[in-house]
Structure 1
């Protein structure tokens, strides 16, 4: 197992380095000059030149990249041009918010998707199967921003059960934290639940055809025992790995949902950075998102090996 993890890390580290090069290089081609944007409306040439020297904007790209990467290795992401705050502190404040939303979304997706997939597989070709499949297709097709707006209109404006936006830290008020995060988590979890359902159904249909399932039934075991011990257990292998990967996607892709609900998470942080041309913030957020996705990919590989011992070695 250790050798397998080390091999995966040997692949992940160069991948992350390549991502850092791409992120740093592509952002330099965006229109606009951060020094001019930071200089204010007066745009004094002396101030602009000072800012370029201060943030190394007057040096070659490879020098800028080297300094930026050296700082990241030491845990220093630099200062935000817009807020003058250390980017590492901003990430430490914003990232837990997005992690909470993503984890809650995957929990909801698992609680909804796996039972729905089981029903669809066991009732293949029936009205229940078609109904679950149609609902799953709808969950994949509905835009997240539209669903978020509809949930706000229904549960916040009309019924008044939940707040329309904002965020309260869990340590300040656990109940208010849940009330502010449940709707956005449901929005994020809707498409994830549809994906989990479809993978669960597909995996169970494949396992149901296996010889050991027919043997278990021939021995006279109850259908519930056959489904839980033999079918579901073996079907969860691809579902668990897929869910881990999708969690990585949620961590790096909750931009629209956080904007709709006004949640100060990772997604809102990168949007604010783009609009204010705060390239250092954008670079840090994208790089952290890539690192989180690679981490989830590594965890998915490890989970797959744990659940499938035949792959060890």
Structure 2
């Protein structure tokens, strides 16, 4: 029953998200038909294009038609590129999704040991040092880090390419090499956030009676944290990890532009500039759906990893 309830909530959330995305795109200023044909286009040609795009239909009918196409796998056709939106999204996702996963793995790899170490050393110099470094990481924008990495590692040291993506056909090593600098630039601010969440969640869990009992039975502080406190602190940690993955997919617009990566973020920027409504709707809905689904999966994992959450109230 709990699974069915969660699935119903997920479906309702996705429906509301699709409605918000559609309405937001519908109220954008400007005439899509006029932008497509140019400012000097004949009014008759603009009217014919608007009718072909269904822009003259009432909003409810347009929403039903658009949502029905989404449910059948038809995201429409991009007016800018004159290709299927779904095919275009799949092509660009081959860059954005690995970039987001790469950045998320780096973020967790940096934040988890740092947060655990700070929690174990709570109130000591190491704890203050980790929190200080996290504050610095929070204050540094990812775009500034990206530009700094290009100058240091690409221009000065020449250890990595300054931008571009050779494609996965060139080999995983070259492809991942092109994604390394943008992934690190994206990961550092997110690692700073996650490290603070890990430390806070663990320090709260360490104050619980079951951790004190484990310590009384002879467990070391590190052992009590890893084997007792950490499993009970996964819920907020996984929630933030799920939110970060969605942010990394959606928030890579500037980074993909800085590093000249042909991903979803750069495609969204171009679609907004061209007022390609169908393409903007498709990208936005996919990003929102990714955030919702990943957060739902993180909730499931959090419940599965925490016996107290599995038992429920």
Calculate the TM-score normalised by the size of structure 1.
0.93
Partner of 1:117: 115
| Alignment of 1:198 onto 2:196 | yes
Partner of 1:105: 103
1:139-288 equivalent positions in 2, closer than 5 A: 139-288=137-286
Distance 1:228 1:23 in 2: 42
Distance 2:219 2:252 in 1: 45
In terms of mean alpha carbon deviation, does 174-183 or 231-240 score higher?
Answer: 231-240
Partner of 1:128: 126
1:6-25 equivalent positions in 2, closer than 5 A: 6-25=4-23
- The alpha-carbon distance between structure 1 residues 140 and 162, as it changes in their structure 2 partners (threshold 3 A), is same
**Structure 2 residue matching 1:128: 3-state secondary structure:** helix
Gaps of 5+ in 2: none
| Alignment of 1:31 onto 2:29 | yes
Cα offset, 1:93, TM superposition: 0.7
Distance 2:221 2:20 in 1: 53
Cα offset, 1:156, TM superposition: 0.8
Check whether the contact 2:141–2:189 (CA below 8 A) recurs between aligned residues. Answer: no
Distance 1:158 1:289 in 2: 36
Partner of 1:55: 53
1:71-110 equivalent positions in 2, closer than 5 A: 71-110=69-108
Cα offset, 1:236, TM superposition: 3.4
Gaps of 5+ in 1: none
- The alpha-carbon distance between structure 1 residues 227 and 17, as it changes in their structure 2 partners (threshold 3 A), is closer
Distance 2:230 2:57 in 1: 59
Check whether the contact 1:245–1:300 (CA below 8 A) recurs between aligned residues. Answer: no
**Structure 2 residue matching 1:6: 3-state secondary structure:** helix
Deviation per residue, 1:53-77 (Å, 9 max, x gap):
2111222222222221221111111
Check whether the contact 2:234–2:302 (CA below 8 A) recurs between aligned residues. Answer: no
Count of aligned positions: 311
Distance 1:106 1:205 in 2: 23
In terms of mean alpha carbon deviation, does 95-104 or 33-42 score higher?
Answer: 33-42
Cα offset, 1:18, TM superposition: 1.9
Deviation per residue, 1:239-279 (Å, 9 max, x gap):
23321232122222221211211111111111110000101
Calculate the TM-score normalised by the size of structure 2.
0.93
In terms of mean alpha carbon deviation, does 117-126 or 39-48 score higher?
Answer: 39-48
1:299 pairs, out of 280, 283, 297, with 297
Distance 2:229 2:19 in 1: 45
